Amino acid sequence: MVELAERSKISIGTVIYATDFSRCSQNAGAYAVRLAAFLSAKLVVAHAFTLTQAAMEVEADRTSVSRQRMELNSLLANTAFLLGSHGIAAIPALLDGDPEDVLPTLAEEHAPSMIVLGTHGGVGLERGLLGSVAEKVLRSTDWPSLTVGPHVGSVSVSTVPFSRILFATDFSPAAVQAAVFTASFAETLGATIDVLNVAPESSVLEAESFSDMEERFLGALDRLMPERAKKFCDPRTYVAMGNAHDRILDHIRERSIDLLVLGIRKTSHLSLEIRTSQAFRIIADADCPVLTIRR
């Protein structure tokens, strides 16, 4: 058993909460507050926007401030004030530009950082408004990003956000990096880890039984996790067959998972492409927040 004082501390100096002031992003704000508290990190409350044509005309001489900017500054300051009332100093940051451009830049300026954002994960017009924004941000940043989907329950600002973490892996280089991060993250929060590999049925050769494949996968998964994680986080490894989306969501429900961690690279049998389209399906449907880690 590793004592509390011997735990490794994860290197996150700033939690950036990206908000659009909608109801669905408020839950993400509560998660951002708790993470900032447990990681002893700064909390930056950010909103990205583009000026309307009327506002651009007002600000054309660079001496006047548009009503749009003043109203957003006021709304953002109030949001930061309310989050900061929980004992965390929240710094407002109003950003000119598209979220997928300015949020990664802000994350770099406050590195090492983590981005926290919410999404309703809708389809049609709704998906085009907020869902696509979340996808673009995940695609654009190299820093870990926590996305809180529409099915995630509310988190109390006075409780530990995560106690059981699921790390879904495909043995890619991105997964190795994510494994190390997951282990340190779990140690910091005092959480346990489930490690899951979902193997497509097409990967099973006729001469190879599922039990043989399972044993091989479990051995590789055990070697993947750092030794410190094995001592403290009590990682348990699982192998499932079939559709990654369905098997991951099943595991989340059956094991009461509080956080899913995905390592994203260009291609994998989990279909976590750099476009994040398939990964976003998991994010939108999951009952818990999803932490994505880019290679």
On the question of a common fold for 4-148 and 164-294, the answer reads yes
Residue 25 vs residue 103, higher pLDDT: 103
Q: Determine contact, residues 236/193, Cβ cutoff 8 Å.
A: yes
Cα separation values, 72 from 40, 78, 79, 274, Å: 28, 10, 10, 32
Sorted by where each begins, the domain ranges of the chain are: 4-148, 164-294
With tokens 């669905």, the residue in question is 24
For the chain, what percent of residues have pLDDT higher than 90?
Answer: 43
For the chain, what percent of residues have pLDDT higher than 70?
Answer: 76
Question: What is the structure's pLDDT at 140?
Answer: 86
Q: For the chain, what is the mean pLDDT?
A: 81
Question: What is the structure's pLDDT at 129?
Answer: 36
How far from each other are the two terminal CA atoms of the chain, in whole angstroms? 31
Residue 130 has pLDDT above 90, yes or no: no
Distance CA 197, CA 13 (A): 31
Q: Indicate the helix (H) or strand (E) that contains 133.
A: helix 132-140
pLDDT of 77-121, one tens digit each? 999 999 987 678 899 999 999 999 999 999 999 999 999 999 876
Identify the band that residue 239 occupies on the pLDDT scale cut at 50, 70 and 90. confident
Please tell me which of 5-14, 212-221, 249-258, 272-281 the model is most confident about, judged by mean pLDDT: 249-258
Q: Determine contact, residues 175/206, Cβ cutoff 8 Å.
A: no
The CATH code for residues 164-294 is 3.40.50.620
Q: Indicate the helix (H) or strand (E) that contains 218.
A: helix 210-224
Q: Average pLDDT of 135-142?
A: 86
Looking at this protein, which amino acid is placed at residue 90? A
Q: Determine contact, residues 150/40, Cβ cutoff 8 Å.
A: no
Q: Determine contact, residues 271/244, Cβ cutoff 8 Å.
A: yes
pLDDT of 32-51, one tens digit each? 998 998 888 999 999 999 99
SS3 category, 172: coil
For residue 86, give the nearest of 155, 38, 30 by alpha carbon: 30
Query: Alpha-carbon dihedral of residues 219, 222, 225, 227, nearest 10 degrees?
Result: -130
User: Could you tell me which CATH class the domain 4-148 is placed in?
Assistant: alpha beta
Q: What is the Cα Rg of the chain in Å?
A: 20
